[in-house]
Structure 1
Amino acid sequence: MRQELHTLHATTRGKGLVPITRPVLDWVGATGIRTGLLTLWCRHTSASLTVQENADPTVCEDIARYFEALVPEDPSRYIHDDEGPDDMPAHLRTMLTDTQLSVPVADGRPVLGTWQGLYLFEHRRMAHRREIVLHLIGT
């Protein structure tokens, strides 16, 4: 049994879903581990991870729009605003999604469905450089 650890950096342009499938696939392939379990961990409380459709970009647009309606930036709704009016909504959106994903690895690749992609979901308006820790254990 082997383990590999890597930190992936993703630059965002503000709110929305940022595809991270390609760099994850490249890193997993480079480890030489053929069968195992990949864990992805987002090191932030205002961004999250998700597995989502990767064929039609309007899916990501609709998801982002849905979260805007579900958790609006309305300062009258929140007490916490230390980093601005998008801060508390970003924390809530992160709670509703995931900061961690587990994906099986077979034949040296994460086992994703035909239309599935891995995404970092940025919940803040400003551009950020986000860290995603990748941990792979296997043979």
Structure 2
Amino acid sequence: MLAQLRVTPTCALSNRPRTRRSARSLTSRTQAVQTNAPMATEWLQRTIDLPAYKRGCHVITKKVYEALPELSQFEVGLANIFILHTSASLTINENASPDVPLDLNDALDRIAPEGNMYRHLDEGPDDMPAHVKSSLMGPSLTVPVSGGRFALGTWQGIYLNEHRNYGGSRRVTVTIQGTKRTDGRSYPSPGAR
């Protein structure tokens, strides 16, 4: 059960409840109403080993769900999804059209093309552009959790962006902080989008 909040506007100068005469107030105070429902925060952390993907953007939402069956026990919370690499990244984007990941990868290639214009070429011509793309896209996502699933939009999916030609397997750590159902049951399996 979520805690209920009661908002009582107050006069900024006097801290008295706001009336029509103090309509110029610039602040309001929020007071939490105490409930008897247990709301203990729980944590779950899991590192997921993903197979090697070819260069490009790949939807991994289903793989993340499959690796986190305990997610269905969480009523509300936040998930941090973090990739443990510097030449791959994560993003949330449209998962309905197969053109989106192709266009996204093409756009990233235009922003950070391969070539000898970089100093760091020790691991090949695709390595430094991969670091640039990873820095632009970022190593982590924060996703709300609601009703035992990620609170993603209708067309949203979690993407692994592989920026190397031969990147190898990748590891992603998911940390969930939230409250579990108080009745001990789980929500239905979220499936994959």
TM-score range, shorter chain: over 0.9
Task: Indicate yes or no: 2:170 matched with 1:130.
Answer: yes
User: What is the deviation of 1:24?
Assistant: 2.1
User: What is the deviation of 1:14?
Assistant: 2.3
- Tell me how far apart the structure 1 counterparts of residues 57 and 50 of structure 2 sit (CA, whole Å): 11
> Which fold has the larger relative contact order, with Cα–Cα distance below 8 Å and residues 6 or more apart in sequence?
1
The 5 A counterparts of 1:35-46 are 35-46=76-87
* RMSD (Å), alpha carbons: 1.2
User: What is the deviation of 1:28?
Assistant: 4.3
Task: Indicate yes or no: 2:121 matched with 1:81.
Answer: yes
Q: Name the amino acid aligned to 2:82.
A: W
Moved over 4 A (4+): none
Q: Which runs of 5+ in 2 are unaligned?
A: 1-40, 180-193
Q: Name the amino acid aligned to 1:64.
A: N
Tell me, yes or no, if the aligned pair for 1:46 and 1:124 is still in contact at 8 Å: yes
Q: Which runs of 5+ in 1 are unaligned?
A: none
Worse-matched range after superposition: 90-99 or 26-35: 26-35
Task: Work out which of the two has the higher radius of gyration on C-alpha atoms and give 1 or 2.
Answer: 2
Q: Which TM-score applies when normalising by structure 1?
A: 0.94
Aligned residues: 138
**Local SS of the residue matching 2:50:** strand
Task: Indicate yes or no: 2:68 matched with 1:17.
Answer: no
User: What is the deviation of 1:9?
Assistant: 1.6
Tell me, yes or no, if the aligned pair for 2:53 and 2:169 is still in contact at 8 Å: no
Percent identical residues: 40
Q: Which residue of 1 aligns with 2:66?
A: 26
Q: Which residue of 2 aligns with 1:118?
A: 158
Q: Which residue of 1 aligns with 2:19?
A: none
User: What is the deviation of 1:11?
Assistant: 1.8
Larger strand share, 1 or 2: 1
User: What is the deviation of 1:12?
Assistant: 3.0
Q: Which TM-score applies when normalising by structure 2?
A: 0.68
The 5 A counterparts of 1:96-107 are 96-107=136-147
Tell me, yes or no, if the aligned pair for 1:21 and 1:118 is still in contact at 8 Å: yes
